Structure 1
Amino acid sequence: MKKIFHLSTCGTCKKILSEIEPSSAFILQDIKEEQITEDQLDEMKELAGSYEALFSKRARLYKERELKNEDLSEDRYKNLILEHYTFLKRPVIIDNDKIFIGNAKKTVEAAKKAIHE
């Protein structure tokens, strides 16, 4: 599968998409318009190793709910991501058996390289 989970209203996601120039083989899913399914999230977790790796601790709701004061379990990370799209670290780029999570420069460069191999 070649898929990119992103937020079309996010300037950083837009910048990354224009930078990596994914081919038409990639399916783009705007997570605000088309909610992530449990199956999709489980597939991401298989590639990433944990739900925590997919979780954004920079999300506004993370701060508002003071979740940093809680000891979150894997199930809690999963349920929070399914509850609200803002908890997914973005973008998530899946290129068959590889996954690239977030907007760190090294991650974006690695995704770009893998996509254009």
Structure 2
Amino acid sequence: MLPAWWRRGDVVFVSAANPGGRRRPDGWNLRGMRALAACLAGCESHEGEGRLGHWAEPLFAVRLPLARGRVIARRFGQNAVLLVRDGRPARLVFLETPHPARWPGGNGLSLRSG
């Protein structure tokens, strides 16, 4: 049985780790996840981890409209979000080309190499 908060509205799974699908150092990912947590302040969210084979990264399951989740995910350089709408099966939602990340709080993180 799904928890009640999954059965109504949109739940978006989003991460700030490993933007663009490229592995980043643990410290870099931790700073990104802290910035994402600050961005999600006031939203109902639950921490978790996504796994695929040997790949794993932290994420948040957040109650918010898909449109807002897409904006946040692009801000953190993500390629996609996972969406659960009204308790139905999850679906992967690919994003348009992400714009250069602007990390909240001016913490000096950048997604650009070089």
TM range (shorter): under 0.3
TM norm structure 2: 0.25
